[in-house]
Amino acid sequence: MKFITVDFDKKYNRERFSCSHDSLNNYLKRQATKESKAGLAKVYLLVNTSNEVIGYYSLSSSELPKDCIPDVMLKKLPKGYTGYPAILLGRLAVTKNETGKGLGGELLVDAIHRCVIHSLSIGTCVIMIDPIDESATKFYEKFMFKRLPDSDRMLLHIDFNLRSHFGLE
């Protein structure tokens, strides 16, 4: 079965969505409509055959301040910038009944793929996330996100290797 996410739309049923973090449930049910309309975040949904939302993530334009970037990555970037164009993966969650089936991983890869495609038309060099807890950090580590020194924030550099992974080089 092909894994497909769809644009946020109120026609999809969000009421039964329940992951282990209330803030992520509330965002989907109460904030996602407003944020989508205002252009603050683009929310993508994974829905089942009954049109119920079983997973989602959100993406927004952002900037990564230069001071936060580890030297190893900074070396690969041109100098003279105070910050670098980034995409914030603001939220990502799978409803409890559907966890452990690979959907969270597929959602994350779908989000990364969208970011890489975006970077082909609008300068963007990094995907960042602020994991909600230590367990989420471990999940993102599985997908090559690196934790910044002195911060909980994690990064994935959009580089030649990542573009190649998606056949975009």
Ligand X SMILES: CC(C)(COP(=O)(O)OP(=O)(O)OC[C@H]1O[C@@H](n2cnc3c(N)ncnc32)[C@H](O)[C@@H]1OP(=O)(O)O)[C@@H](O)C(=O)NCCC(=O)NCCS
**DSSP state string for 64-101:** EEGGGS-HHHHTTS-SS-SEEEEEEEEEEEE-GGGTTS
- Does 92 contact ligand X by CB under 6 A? yes
Residue nearest to ligand X (CB): 104
From candidates 86, 87, 88, 93, binder to ligand X by CB under 6 A: 93
Backbone angles phi, psi at 46, to 5 degrees: -110, 120
From candidates 36, 60, 118, 139, binder to ligand X by CB under 6 A: 139
* Dihedral of the alpha carbons of 123, 138, 72, 86, in degrees to the nearest 10: 20
CA 31 – CA 124 distance, rounded (Å): 26
Asked if residue 107 lies in contact with residue 46, where contact means CB atoms within 8 angstroms, the answer is yes
- Does 69 contact ligand X by CB under 6 A? no
H helix and E strand count, the chain = 6, 7
- Does 136 contact ligand X by CB under 6 A? yes
From candidates 18, 21, 73, 165, binder to ligand X by CB under 6 A: 21
Minimum CB separation from ligand X for residue 105, in Å?
3
- Of the listed pieces 2-10, 34-42, 59-67, 129-137, which binds ligand X according to CB under 6 A? 129-137
- Does 99 contact ligand X by CB under 6 A? yes
- Does 144 contact ligand X by CB under 6 A? no
From candidates 16, 30, 34, 142, binder to ligand X by CB under 6 A: 142
Query: What is the Rg, in whole angstroms, of the alpha carbon atoms belonging to the chain?
Result: 16
Asked if residue 82 lies in contact with residue 27, where contact means CB atoms within 8 angstroms, the answer is no
Minimum CB separation from ligand X for residue 104, in Å?
2
Residues that bind ligand X (CB under 6 A): 19-21, 24, 91-94, 99-105, 131-132, 135-136, 138-139, 142
